[in-house]
Structures are given as C-alpha cells and as structure tokens.
C-alpha cells in the first residue's frame, strides 16, 4: 500500500512488529512503519471487532491505537520507533496490564 | 520547565513559531509547547530533517517553512517538543504531559495556536482500513518520505487534494483517479468572489499550474462526482462513485479523501471560550477580536485554530498575537503595538484575499456533510451510525450534546474530534434547524485521554 523512498543518509533501528524483526529508518513513526511493512490493519475495535488502520496520522482520530512495549492504546502515529521496540496489532480494548514484557 | 511563564504558546506551527519569535525579542519569559518532536506544525512537518530531494518534491510553499523555523530556533523561547496539552482553563493554567509525566503550569498570557485538522466527513465505508485522509498521506510523505506503492484514488474537494496529487506525481505515484465532488453550482456561486481573489492571483496561478501538470501527467480527474462509497469486506477493495448519472467502480487498496480543514478547538472549548458557527467555513471557531483575544481575558488565538486562513496568514496572525501579548504584559504601549503591527496586518489581509473565493468554490454540499445513508458510521470510536443519530433527533433530542448523552456518539477516545462536525450537520438536517443552533459538544478536560498512571504523576511542587 505504501513504500518509503530510499534515503541512505538515515540510520536504521530494529523493531519487532508482531514478532517479526524489522529494520526501519530512524525518525519514522510506528504508524508509518506499519503501513510500509504492509500491515493492512493495526487494531480491531472493541465495539464490533472491525479492522482499523491509521486514518489521520496527526494524532486526532485515535484509530491507530496499537500495543507498544506491552502498553495498549498507544497512538502509533504519535510514537516514534526506537531500537528494540515491540509493536503489536491491538485486539479490542487491549490488555490493561500488557503482556508483562513492558515491566 | 518553569511553573510559570509570562507567555505560554501552545502549538509549534506557523502561528506559534512566529509569535514566539516576536515576543521573545522583548526579553519576556516564554515557553512553546508542541506535540511534535520538531517545530513546523503539520504544514511544515519535518522541515528541518526532510532531505533536500523530498522538500523539492513537496514544493515551494513547504520550503517556505525553513526560514520560519530557523528564526524560531534562534529565539529565546523555552521549547518543549513531544509535549501534549490536556487542559486549559480560564485561570490560565495548562495541564501538560511531558516525558510521560503530568504537570500544571500557569502563565500571564496564553496563545492557543492549535492549528487545523481535516474535516471528518462520514461516507459509506470510511472506516475501512485503506481509507485515509489526504492530510495523512501528506504527513506520511513529509515526515517519512512514505508514498503510495500500488496506486491511489484521491477523492473529495479542496486545494489540498490538488496539491497532494501534484506532490505525488512529482515522485511517480500512480494516481488511479481524482474524484472531485465539488458541485458544478459552486463554480457559479463563487464567481462574485473571484475579483477579490485576483488580488492574490499567485494562489490561483499555482492551482492552474498543478491542474495543468496533472493533465500532462495523464491523471484522470472526474469533476462533479457524487455518492462515493468505499467498499470491501473488512479491508478496502474498491471505490464506487456516481458520475453523470452512471455508477463506476475503481479497484484500489488506498483511498485518500479530503473535504477541507477545520480549526482544532478542543482546548478553547474546554477553557470555556465563546465559539461561533462560521457558515462560510462550515465549522465552529473561537470568537476573537482583531488581535486574537478570545472571550476569556489572557487567552489569545492565532492561526488556523482561530479560523481557517492558511499557513502564510497564520504566520502573520502569530506575529500580531505576539505583539498583543507584549501589550497585555505591559511591555509595549498601545501606540508601539499598533505601529509594529501595521505592515504585518496588511500582509495578513493580502494573504486572505483568496479565502472567500476558496470557501465558496470548495464549499462542501449539505448532502455530503449530513449523510442520509443511515448505515454509515458517524462516530468512528463508538460506532454510532447516522441512522441512530437521526433516530435520537426524531425522539426529541435536538442538540449535539443531547444526542451524545443518548447514543454515546462522541464519547470514545477521540472525544468527538472525528464526529462533532458531522453530528451537528445531521442533527440540524434531521431536526430542520440551522447548524449554528445545534451547539458543539461541550469539551471537558482532559481533552486527550490520559492514563491514571500519567495523571498520578501530577504534582505542582515538582520544579
């Protein structure tokens, strides 16, 4: 759906997206990373379990909520990738306590 | 970060940056809070870090932000990026979240330069993954050099649609179609506004050049399109639309829509500033005087958050707000403020010559703003449909707030940002009243969701 124009000057970081290691240019948001990795949806809704993906990319729609480093409900479009970051598609409301890996 | 500043500026877009630069030249204590990691706002997003090639493809209007940001970097304002503002009140206290910690800071003057957001317009299928706002596409491009890889359909109405299409063809993106929903009647209705717009002819020329470049690039633009539907089981598969009475379908996994932009008013709403319905801009905006003073003493607004006038105008309005703050702080006399504002105000007016024409030309028809498709989701968070809203109105609930209480529409994590405008239009349409009478959702702090953990860090004593 999306691709990233090559920019050789920028260093990359390694994140773990749904269990897969991914190299991403520094300064990329989690949402941009997910879209370029071909993730078609980034959460399911708590109301009807429908699939959703980033919509506004500027932090106002809250549709890109993902689980990041064990914490649910993080706006993927307002979170920047960091080395070792663990990012997961969020199911419904997400787990309040995460999977314990955030501690 | 101090607990108190003479001037606190919320927002690091053109208005906030220009205000900070002006105000700090007179040696006041001033802080600028912004959610983004770098200055520029959404319009000049990543302007400092975007590679030259990318900046070039985005065009000269984008590159203009470089000087503005460079000047700001030289000024003495305390700059706090990655800072979320979740509260503002009439006592001039601001609740913020920085480094995952909450804090309340106060100021003698507060400038809210919150900018604009895309006008969310519900249509069938708009919640499907693969449907995004055009602004989102542009932010991906500006901030990360991310562009569509397998083609894109652009739909809606407004200058941004044209600009984004032009930026995309600069890097070879396959634009499957531009579906322009601007009604033909707008062309005629906007004609009386054209003479004044000619005073800002560089904008018109730019638009014509974009259109010409798109035609040369072989992009197919359909004018007078209606009934746009995003289709797919659980992911976007195709876009359906009506054109000259016939239904058409385009297969695509990406649809970017644009229906103009509206001011982001959640903070001024929560603070209790008076707001008014702007029928020409089809949105609410805070009431303010020629200096940006709102109905609450000490709270000033500037830029698109005060009413949509574009990035260049925002910059000038920011300068005026900066001068006003200096006057309110007793640093400038009225005469000094007025003298320093003469040119700025003139430049600002020059920028605004184009607006009445644009507002009229790109006015979104009521049939689109107040969808009559009862199955369309209006509140994306709580998944409340247009039918449920119309039903609530039929049962005697004639204001947005009543509908909110009845249906949970607007009570999800976005706090109504995505549905407020549409609910107002549907409530007005269903109840046969003017939109201005439907009232906007009342805003309550925190205006952005906070975890209890984040709130628990709140301590005024922390230095």
Distance CA B333, CA A5 (A): 52
For residues A14 and B237, what is the distance between their CA atoms, to the nearest angstrom?
A: 31
**Domain A12-88: which CATH class?**
alpha beta
Number of Cβ pairs < 8 A linking chain A and chain B: 121
pLDDT score recorded for residue B444: 87
Residue B331 burial (C-beta neighbours within 10 Å; 0-12, 13-18, 19+): middle
Whether residue A100 is predicted with pLDDT greater than 60 in this model: the reply is no
Please state, as a whole number, how many other Cβ atoms lie within 10 Å of the Cβ of residue A42: 26
Inter-chain touch B135–A59, beta carbons under 8 Å: no
Interchain pair A32, B140: CB under 8 A: yes
Distance from CA of B342 to the nearest CA of A (A): 35
User: What span, in angstroms and rounded, lies between the C-alpha atoms of B437 and B277?
Assistant: 9
Q: What is the pLDDT of residue B201?
A: 92
Q: Which chain B residues contact residue A34 at CB under 8 A?
A: none
Residue A76 has pLDDT above 80, yes or no: yes
Tell me the CA distances in angstroms from B126 to B120, B233, B257, one per residue in order: 10, 13, 9
Q: Across the interface, which of B144, B149, B414 has its CB nearest the CB of A28?
A: B144
**Entry pTM:** 0.96
State the pairing for strand pair B83-88/B146-148.
Answer: unpaired
Amino acid A103: pLDDT: 35
The structural domains of chain B, ordered by start, are: 4-117+262-332 (3.50.50.60), 120-259 (3.50.50.60), 370-437 (1.10.10.1100)
- Does the beta-carbon distance from B234 to A51 stay under 8 Å? yes
Beta-ladder partners of B175: B152
pLDDT confidence of residue B8? 98
Count Cβ atoms within 10 A of the Cβ of residue B217 and give its class: 0-12 exposed, 13-18 middle, 19 or more buried.
middle
Q: How far apart are CA B169 and CA B213, in angstroms?
A: 9
Preferred mutation among B41, B46, B144, B421 to probe A, highest tally of A CBs within 10 A: B144
d(CA B372, CA B123): 9
Contacts of residue B135 in chain A, CB cutoff 8 Å? 56-58
pLDDT at A96: 57
Instruction: Write down the pLDDT at residue B54.
Output: 94
Listed in sequence order, the residues at least 6 apart from B29 whose beta carbon sits closer than 8 Å to its beta carbon are: B2, B5, B6, B7, B78
Between CA B93 and CA B271 the distance in angstroms is 10
Question: Do residues B362 and B158 lie in contact, with contact meaning Cβ atoms separated by under 8 Å?
Answer: yes
Residue A78 with chain B: CB contacts under 8 Å: 35
pLDDT value at A94 more than 90 = no
Query: With an 8 Å Cβ cutoff, is A65 touching chain B?
Result: yes
Could you tell me if A3 lies within 8 Å of chain B, comparing CB atoms? yes
pLDDT of residue B463: 43
Q: Is the peptide bond before B146 cis (omega within 30 degrees of 0)?
A: no
Per-residue confidence (pLDDT) for residue B375, from 0 to 100: 98
SS3 label, residue B68: helix
- CA separation for the pair B16, B238 (Å, rounded): 41
Provide the pLDDT for residue A6. Answer: 80
Q: Which two tokens stand for residue B414?
A: 């976005």
Is B144's CB within 8 Å of A57's CB?
A: no
Q: 3-class SS at A94?
A: coil
Provide the shortest C-alpha distance from residue A87 to chain B (in Å).
18
Cα–Cα distances (Å) from B56 to B242, B349, B371, in that order, read: 36, 28, 39
Chunked in runs of 10, what are the mean pLDDT values of chain B (463 residues)? 96 98 97 97 96 93 96 98 97 96 96 98 98 98 96 97 97 97 97 95 94 96 97 98 98 98 97 96 97 98 98 98 98 98 97 97 96 97 98 95 96 96 96 90 90 83 49
pLDDT (0 to 100) of residue A102: 38
Task: Return the residue matching tokens 């005469």.
Answer: B335
Beta strands per DSSP E along B308-385 = 377-379, 384-385
CB under 8 Å to B156, separation ≥6 — which residues? Answer: B121, B134, B179, B180, B181, B257, B258, B259
Burial readout B296-330 (b: 16 or more C-beta within 10 A, e: otherwise): bebbbbbbbbbbbbbbbbbbbbbbbbbbbbbbbbe
User: Is there a contact between B142 and B341 (Cβ–Cβ < 8 Å)?
Assistant: no
Contacts B35 to A, Cβ<8 Å: 59, 78
Dihedral of CA B272/B315/B331/B339: which sign?
Answer: negative
CB contact under 8 Å between B130 and A7, yes or no, is no
A41, A57, A60 member nearest B414 (Cβ): A60
23-52 in A: which are within 8 Å (CB) of B? 25, 27-29, 32, 35-36, 40-42, 45, 47-48, 50-52
Residue B253 with chain A: CB contacts under 8 Å: 1, 40
The whole-angstrom distance between B145's CA and the closest CA on chain A is 5
Q: Check CB contact under 8 Å for A36 and B37.
A: no
ipTM surpassing 0.85: yes
- Chain B residues closer than 8 Å to A80 by CB: 37
User: How many angstroms away from the CA of A20 is the closest CA of chain B?
Assistant: 21
For chain A, percent of residues with pLDDT exceeding 90: 83
Residue among B49, B115, B129, B375 with most chain A CBs within 10 A, to mutate: B129
**A29: closest chain B residue by CA:** B144
Q: Report which of B326, B349, B347 is spatially closest to residue B337, judged by C-alpha positions.
A: B326
């Amino acid at each position: 759906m999306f691709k990233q124009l090559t920019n050789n000057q920028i260093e990359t970081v390694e994140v773990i997206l749904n269990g897969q290691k991914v190299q991403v240019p520094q300064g990329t948001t989690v949402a941009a990373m997910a879209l370029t990795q071909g993730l078609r949806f980034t959460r399911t809704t708590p109301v009807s379990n429908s699939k959703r993906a980033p919509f506004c990319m500027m932090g106002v729609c809250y549709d890109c909520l993902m689980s990041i480093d064990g914490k649910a409900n993080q706006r993927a479009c307002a979170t920047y990738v960091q080395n070792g970051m663990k990012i997961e598609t969020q199911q419904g409301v997400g787990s309040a306590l995460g999977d314990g890996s955030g501690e | 970060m101090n607990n108190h500043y003479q001037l606190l500026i919320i927002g690091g877009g053109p208005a906030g940056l220009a205000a900070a630069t002006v105000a700090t030249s007179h040696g006041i204590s001033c802080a600028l809070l912004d959610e983004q990691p770098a200055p520029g706002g959404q319009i000049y997003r990543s302007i400092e870090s975007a590679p030259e090639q990318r900046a070039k493809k985005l065009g000269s209007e984008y590159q203009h932000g470089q000087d503005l940001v460079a000047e700001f970097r030289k000024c003495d304002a305390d700059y706090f990026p990655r800072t979320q503002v979740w509260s503002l009140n009439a006592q001039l206290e601001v609740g913020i979240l920085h480094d995952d910690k909450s804090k309340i800071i106060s100021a003698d003057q507060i400038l809210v330069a919150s900018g604009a957001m895309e006008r969310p317009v519900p249509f069938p299928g708009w919640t499907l993954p693969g449907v995004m706002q055009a602004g989102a596409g542009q932010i991906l491009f500006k901030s990360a050099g991310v562009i569509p890889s397998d083609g894109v359909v652009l739909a809606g109405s407004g200058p941004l649609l044209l600009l984004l299409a032009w930026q995309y063809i600069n890097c070879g993106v396959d634009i499957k179609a531009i579906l322009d929903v601007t009604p033909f009647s707008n062309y005629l209705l906007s004609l009386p506004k054209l003479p004044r717009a000619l005073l800002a002819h560089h904008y018109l020329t730019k638009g014509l050049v974009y259109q010409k470049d798109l035609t040369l690039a072989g992009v197919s633009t359909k004018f007078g399109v209606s009934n746009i539907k995003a289709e797919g089981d659980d992911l976007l598969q195709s876009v359906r639309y009506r054109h000259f009475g016939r239904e058409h379908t385009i297969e695509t996994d990406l649809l970017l829509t644009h229906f103009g932009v509206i001011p982001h008013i959640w903070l001024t709403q929560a603070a209790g500033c008076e707001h008014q319905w702007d029928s020409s801009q089809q949105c609410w905006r805070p009431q303010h005087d020629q200096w940006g003073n709102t109905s609450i003493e000490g709270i000033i607004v500037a830029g698109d958050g005060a009413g949509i006038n574009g990035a260049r105008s925002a910059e000038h309005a920011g300068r005026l707000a900066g001068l006003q703050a200096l006057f309110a702080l007793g640093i400038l006399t009225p005469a000094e403020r007025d003298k320093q504002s003469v040119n700025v105000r003139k430049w600002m007016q020059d920028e605004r010559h184009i607006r009445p024409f644009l507002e009229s030309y790109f006015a979104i028809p009521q049939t689109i703003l107040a969808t009559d498709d009862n199955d369309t989701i209006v509140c994306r968070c709580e998944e409340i449909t247009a039918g449920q809203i119309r039903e609530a109105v039929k049962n005697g609930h004639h204001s947005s707030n009543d509908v909110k209480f009845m249906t949970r529409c607007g009570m999800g994590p976005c706090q109504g940002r995505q549905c407020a405008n549409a609910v107002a239009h549907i409530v007005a349409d269903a109840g046969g009243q003017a939109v201005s009478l439907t009232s906007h959702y009342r805003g309550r702090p925190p205006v952005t969701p906070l975890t209890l953990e984040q709130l628990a860090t709140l301590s005024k004593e922390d230095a």
